[in-house]
Each structure stands twice: as C-alpha cells, then as structure tokens.
Chains A and B, each alone.
Chain A
Amino acid sequence: MPDTTNPEPEERTRMSTNHPTSGHRARAWLVLLLAGAFEIGYALCVGGSQGFTVLSWSLAAVVFFLLTLFALSVALRTIDVGIGYAVWAGIGAVGAALLGPVFFAETLTPVKALWLTVIIAGVVWLKLSDAPEQRRTR
C-alpha cells in the first residue's frame, strides 16, 4: 500500500481490515506455498527420523513442524480456510509421494501412484468443498 495516500478514515478502515489489497493477497499465497513446502519437509524428516531415533532428521522434523504450523496460520488469516487447507494438504502429499523415492529406498510404482492420486484428489476435493462459494449455495 503506497504510504503517500491519505484516505478518509472510513476508506482506511475498509482497506486495512475488510478488503486486503492485492499485494497482501499475493503475500498470503506465497506464505501458503511456503507452508506446503515446509509440510513436504516435515513428512520427509518424520520418515527419515526412523521413529525419532536419528537426531538430525528428528530435529529437522520438529523445526519443519513448527514452520508449517506457523506459516499455515499466517496464510489462513487472509486466505479462506477450505481453499488454504486444500492447497497445503495437496502440496504436502504430492511432494512427499514424489520426493520419498529421491531420499529413501522407495519406489513410486504406477499402481501406488494411481491410488495415491485417488486419495489426494479426494482430500483436496473434500477441503475445497468447505470453500465459501459452496457455503453460500447451501
């Protein structure tokens, strides 16, 4: 928001609370994407911790856990909860499925990929069903 403007008090309230500016929205989406990336890190580190017996992976898991929770909560101040959760959960699950085989002795076979796609599509759809347009049509 340019600081040279001097809006009427009423206008100022409108801009700062009810209608986030486009820059504010863009930042919130960036934080949401970051939260998704942290969630991928969380999933991989929890797996790599071997039941929290490997110190380095365990510490990284705790850090990613706090980062993903914090970033998601910041993003959800601006972005609708249903849409925010859908994007965050989708990024985390797809990322963990694709990167698991990169870091660990795992393979993503076509059969696994098929059923994972069904599950992830299901949960993203479920979260999107909580989006405001759906709530309004009820």
Chain B
Amino acid sequence: MHWLYLGIAIVFEIAVAIAAGKARGFTRPAWTAATLVSGGIATYLLSLALLTFDVGVGYAIWTSVAGVGIAVLGALLFGQRLDWRKLLGIAAVIVGVVGLQLSGVA
C-alpha cells in the first residue's frame, strides 16, 4: 500500500511542477491555486507513504521519480529533448529505486 500512496504522491508532485511553472512566480492566481492544491494532495499522500518508508528513503524516491516524470512529460508534451545526459540521470534514478527495493530496505 505504501508504494501506491507514494505513486499517487509522485503524480501530484509532477502536477505541482507543471502548475508552478505556469504560475510565473505566483503572479497568476488560478495556476498558483493549482500549485497549492496539488502540493497539498502530494504532501498528504507522501505522509501516508512515510508511515512505512523511512523519511530519507521515501522522500528521495518521491522527489527523484517526480523529476524523471517531469523530464519525460516535458519531452512528450512540450517538445523538450531527452538527450543522453538526461537519459543517464533517469537510468540512475531507476537503478537506485530498483536497488532499494531489491535489497529490501524500501
């Protein structure tokens, strides 16, 4: 169950990044509200995940996988390039998360 909570928290954290970008330094009220609401939902689900995960472990997976999601969505929706540098970073995050899972500490 803690992986499900973390997964949903990651989806909302990706929404925070997109909304915060569109809020332009929080000068646009609707996107600012979207940032805060998404952030609130992401935070609550992260807190549920952290009932099981160590804080350091759950937080690192949450923020990093969200970062991967933002890079991938940026490529799919906003035409940003996924060059070898980004793919290397994405690969490292995936290897690290799988490593944590397989070694039984996450």
> A residues engaging B (CB < 8 A)?
42-44, 46-47, 49-52, 61, 65, 69, 73, 77, 85, 89, 92-93, 96-101, 103-104, 106, 108-109, 111-112, 114-127, 129-130, 134, 138
Contacting residue for B56 out of A108, A125, A130, CB 8 A: A108
B contact residues around A44 at 8 Å (CB): 55
Contact between A61 and B93, CB atoms less than 8 A apart: no
A19 CB, min distance to chain B CBs, angstroms: 19
Interface size on B, residues (CB 8 A): 43
* Secondary structure class of chain B's binding surface, majority of residues: helix
Interface residues of B (CB under 8 A from A): 20, 25-26, 35, 39, 43-44, 46-48, 50-51, 54-61, 63-64, 67-68, 71, 81, 83, 85-86, 88-97, 99-100, 103, 105
Given contacts A73-B20, A77-B25, contact A97 B56 (CB under 8 A): yes
Other than the known A47-B58, A125-B89, what 17 A-B pairs have Cβ atoms closer than 8 Å? Answer: A46-B59, A47-B47, A51-B50, A61-B43, A61-B47, A65-B39, A96-B60, A108-B56, A109-B105, A111-B105, A112-B54, A116-B56, A119-B60, A121-B92, A122-B96, A126-B67, A130-B86
